[in-house]
Copies of this chain bind each other. A is one copy, B any other.
Amino acid sequence: MVDRLLGRGRDAEHRTAAAPPSDAADPKRAVWSRVQLARNQRRPRTLEFVAAMADEFVELHGDRAFGDDAAMVVGLARIEDRRFVVVGQQKGADTNENIRRNFGMPHPEGYRKAIRVMELAERFRLPIVTFVDVPGAHPGPESEERGIAEAIARSIGLMSRIRTPIVAIITGEGGSGGAIAIAVGDVVIALENAVYSVISPEGCAAILWRTADEAPTAALAMKMTAADQLALGVVDLVVPEPGDGAHTDHAETARRLRAIIIEQLDRLSAISLESLVEARYRRYRSLGAYTETTEAPVAAPPSRGLADRVRDLLDPGRWPAGVQVPGPGRGRDEPPAREEV
């Protein structure tokens, strides 16, 4: 009856042996420290990575319609004889730069700049490498006015069908719609301390626990670490970070990523574009877990027991079973899933 539980996660082809965080004594604390590492201000960003790993880089600017968004950087890069297009978010290294770059939260024109340069990549047969590190797309009124949702959706749409290889790398915060907008790829890689989530842990906690203080609890519940995302099949490959995290050794982190990028570009460039695009479609087509029942549905919803059984089908060793519930159930009071996505 259960025909697909974890999508392609269980049989993904490309993986490293990154184990889930082993801080079994306090998993919540372990997860939260990952989130802090992912947000560390000294963590390398797109431009730092490219400067450290590329033999040549020419940044391009502008969306050709409204502006040049400094929270999104794009350009042409070369590693040895491999030429590719770079797309990535860019947080600031200090307060001034953060203000200029809107704390790495792109407006619609940032995503439209990405779209423009990805179309250029397709036309000139250059593969695309994206660096994803974003708290979320910019949520301000001007962002809504100029269509942040449209820009995200259109970027996702382009990446889903574009006839060139895409390597997507979650390097820091993979924040919701603002992340997936440039994270649709033939292979999705994450740095060890990167996180990826459908909503920020603070936002999730504010909605489900009614206080942002429960953000660590929410972070644990959402399984947002790179290792968890690998297990879910959302991420294909986790790259270990040096020392105490990427921020402690930019050069070594970049060196490791560079090797992976070379490996993946070479692997993907050997695949025909037809097969590549079809496989990419299948990759996302298969993500998401559901069951299919033939029981009569009308006014006879599945019993409590069924739901339990479904949950039992999950590997209890993989999924920490004992997540603490911080308060009593709230009956039928059902908050919907929304704050950022």
Contact = CB atoms under 8 A, between A and B. Distances in A.
A146 B67 CA distance: 8
A108 B65 contact: yes
A147 interface: yes
B112 A147 contact: no
A65 B65 CA distance: 9
A285 interface: no
Nearest to A147: B65
Nearest to A64: B150
A151 B112 CA distance: 15
Contacts of A108: 65
A151 B147 CA distance: 18
A66 interface: yes
Interface residues of A, number: 9
* Dominant SS among interface residues on chain A: loop
Interface string A49-66: 000000000000000111
A69 to B, nearest CB: 14
A150 B116 CA distance: 14
Nearest to A145: B66
A145 to B, nearest CB: 8
> What are the 7 tightest A-B residue pairs by CB atom distance, in nearest-first order?
A64-B150, A65-B147, A66-B146, A65-B65, A64-B147, A65-B146, A65-B150
13 contacts: A64-B147, A64-B150, A65-B65, A65-B66, A65-B108, A65-B112, A65-B146, A65-B147, A65-B150, A65-B151, A66-B66, A66-B146, A66-B147
Given A65-B147, A66-B66, 11 more contacts: A64-B147, A64-B150, A65-B65, A65-B66, A65-B108, A65-B112, A65-B146, A65-B150, A65-B151, A66-B146, A66-B147
